[in-house]
Chains A and B, each alone.
Chain A
Amino acid sequence: AQTVTQSQPEMSVQEAETVTLSCTYDTSESDYYLFWYKQPPSRQMILVIRQEAYKQQNATENRFSVNFQKAAKSFSLKISDSQLGDAAMYFCAYRSAWGSARQLTFGSGTQLTVLP
């Protein structure tokens, strides 16, 4: 079974600064997807960024980018120019590319605080 580990329960960053959230995973599969989701105080899950394992290029979405290291099974999220609205719980998630269910496996989350 796949596991996702987020070793930083809490992080803080000064507004306009850069912060990196860590995520490692364990799998024997070669084809899969990785995601970062944001859950603000409203608790609505919001997809931040997605990475296909077969793509070597790191995904980027505006101020959000990932550092995907497939061999090391590492998938970190970098938030540049942090804004107050970035404050949320961030979950790293894994999904198999194959299989009928293909459900998400979530990490334990990192609570990000943005300091004004």
Chain B
Amino acid sequence: GAVVSQHPSRVICKSGTSVKIECRSLDFQATTMFWYRQFPKQSLMLMATSNEGSKATYEQGVEKDKFLINHASLTLSTLTVTSAHPEDSSFYICSARGDRGDYEQYFGPGTRLTVT
């Protein structure tokens, strides 16, 4: 099956700094990538959808300037949390989808962000 990787799996940063999370589709071309945020024991909340070469579409309530998404190639999308604060601490999950007939979404293993 299709594999999606995320890096890093865990990151700790200080308040006010920025952190970048990478999401890669390893064996298929991801025309669309999705970024989710998940709090403990809660569901996945879609933050934004990005198409390769286009600007990301953010969900209502998600700050575009804080969560910068770049989908520069068909295998790589990045999420940069700028000027991170403790309330940004969460589990971030990316998901990638190709242009195949089934339009199946494949999920990365997630990144745990802790802002101190």
Contacts and interface: CB of A to CB of B under 8 A. Distances in A.
A71 interface: no
B43 A103 contact: no
Nearest to A6: B43
Contacts of A74: none
Interface string A23-56: 0000000000000000000111101000000000
Interface residues of A, number: 17
Given A101-B49, A102-B103, A103-B34, A44 B109 contact: yes
A92 B42 CA distance: 13
B43 A101 contact: no
B93 A108 contact: no
B114 interface: no
Contact of B49 (A44, A103, A108): A103
B46 A91 contact: no
Contact of B42 (A44, A45, A108): A108
A104 B43 contact: no
A111 interface: yes
B43 A106 contact: yes
B32 interface: yes
Contacts of A43: 38, 91, 93, 109-110
Interface residues on B, range: 20 to 34
A12 B43 CA distance: 19
B110 A104 contact: no
Interface string A92-109: 000100000111101111
Interface string B78-103: 00000000000001010101000001
Contacts of B110: 43-44
B56 to A, nearest CB: 11
Contacts of A103: 34, 46, 49
Given A43-B109, A104-B46, A109-B41, 12 more contacts: A44-B107, A45-B95, A45-B107, A91-B44, A95-B103, A101-B49, A102-B97, A103-B34, A103-B49, A106-B43, A108-B42, A111-B41
In the complex, the 10 A-B pairs of residues with the closest C-beta atoms, listed nearest first: A45-B107, A106-B43, A44-B109, A43-B110, A108-B43, A106-B44, A109-B43, A101-B49, A102-B103, A103-B49
